[in-house]
Amino acid sequence: MMNLLAHQAKEHLEKTIIPFWVSLKDEEYGGYYGKVGFDLTWYKKASKGSVQTSRILYFFSEAAMLLNREDCRRSADHAYQFLMHHCFDSEYGGLYWSLTYNGEIEDPVKSSFSFAYGILALTSYYRLTGKLEALQKAQELQELVELHFADEIGYKEVLSQDFKANPNDDTRFSKGNFGGEKTMNTMLHLLEAYHTLHQASPDAKLLQKIHMLCSLFATQVYDKERKALTIYFDGSLNKASDYRSFGHEIEASWMLSSCAMGTHTEYLISLCDTLVQQVYEHAYKYNSVVDETHNEKVQARRVHWVQAEAVLGFISAYERHPDKKEYLEAANGIWTFIQMHLVDQRSQSEWLYQVDEKGTVTEPHALVWSWKGPYNNGRMCMELIKRYTQNI
């Protein structure tokens, strides 16, 4: 059954996701167009964010290695050139938050979240090409994170361009009335980036940081009473709200378990198992997963990235516990939901941003914007292919 799932993921990756993103290459100004509307209109003068650019670079680098496709390598090269020539701050270092369509500075603030994706993408590109410049830039970003964003406990989210000011009122990572000075999501993606960088270029100090982040998840981020992850914290890493994100919990369940197996932090596995079971019991409904909990309207929506991460979360848990057939059934149920409702059936399109629990579009969102790239759905397909390629 899992080989079939991987086969379908490979076909979807090659026939839908890759062609869509290749088509968004901006041949005039570099990078990739920053927005595609729900009506499939290309907004060629939309902003180009460093997170989105990094996600695209990561996606094409990984796809080129996995599928041995030269067109994906060229697409990775294209993203790399824009990232290097426009997204890096030559004066203070690090990545700007966003650029205009033609590569000029739009929002110069620095974010540990965007740096995490920069590290991840540059490391993948280094693995693809062997370019030391890419590895050095990834290491430079990691050093900047530790120099400027790390504090006594955890990581600050946003700093000014020169890294001196800490605008605590910045709300780019908030969810309505929910927010905090620090977030679980940034720690999770820093851990992902650090782990990936350490695999490509082992370093004892970096491994210490990985162990520290793993420890934070076990002791600070995981709420034993609620059997949930705290998402928002104050500056001292105290819980700032009871906001719950099942999407981030199912994503963290497989990412933390993957990291644990490679860094001798297996104590995280039981935490991951609890998260998966909680999501299955409380958020898996109608062959799809609820992403958040704070009101009924939110509970009815089915966001694209949550479904992609849920497939991997349930598959990973089933691999650890083959007796839990319900997890495999959930993964297949969600994949069916994705194919039926989230994959846009219009030609030259990709995944819709979100639908409701019945698969109906109730709020038309852009298909591409700063928070939607090929990272989650592309990574899902590639992870499935990597795990179950023997008969493909």
CB atoms within 10 A of CB 125: 31
Amino acid making up residue 122: L
Tell me the per-residue pLDDT of 44-53, one tens digit each, with 9 for 90 and over: 999 999 999 9
Residue 22 maps to a domain: yes
Strand partners, 95: 88
Average pLDDT across the chain, whole number: 95
Split at pLDDT 50, 70, 90, the class of 390 is low
- CATH code for position 163: 1.50.10.10
Question: Ramachandran region of residue 287, left (φ > 0), alpha (ψ -120 to 50) or beta?
Answer: left
Residue 392 maps to a domain: no
Range of the domain at 48: 2-387
As to burial, measured by CB atoms within 10 angstroms (0-12 exposed, 13-18 middle, 19+ buried), residue 294 is middle
Tell me the per-residue pLDDT of 203-240, one tens digit each, with 9 for 90 and over: 999 999 999 999 999 999 999 999 999 999 999 999 99
Residue 201 maps to a domain: yes
Residue 62 maps to a domain: yes
Q: What gap in Å lies between CA 273 and CA 320, rounded to an integer? A: 9
Residue 130 maps to a domain: yes
How many structural domains are present in the chain?
Answer: 1
Residue 274 maps to a domain: yes
Q: Retrieve residue 64's tokens.
A: 């080129």
Residue 33 maps to a domain: yes
- Give the mean pLDDT of 78-104: 98
Rg of the chain over CA atoms, in angstroms? 20
Inter-helix orientation angle 304-320/268-282, to 10°: 120
Residue 288 phi/psi, 5-degree rounding, is -160, 170
Higher pLDDT, 296 or 34: 34
Helix residue ranges, H only, the chain: 2-12, 18-23, 50-67, 70-82, 112-129, 132-144, 184-200, 204-216, 246-263, 268-282, 296-300, 304-320, 325-337, 375-387
The answer to whether the beta carbons of residues 245 and 292 sit under 8 Å apart is yes
> Is pLDDT above 90 for 310?
yes
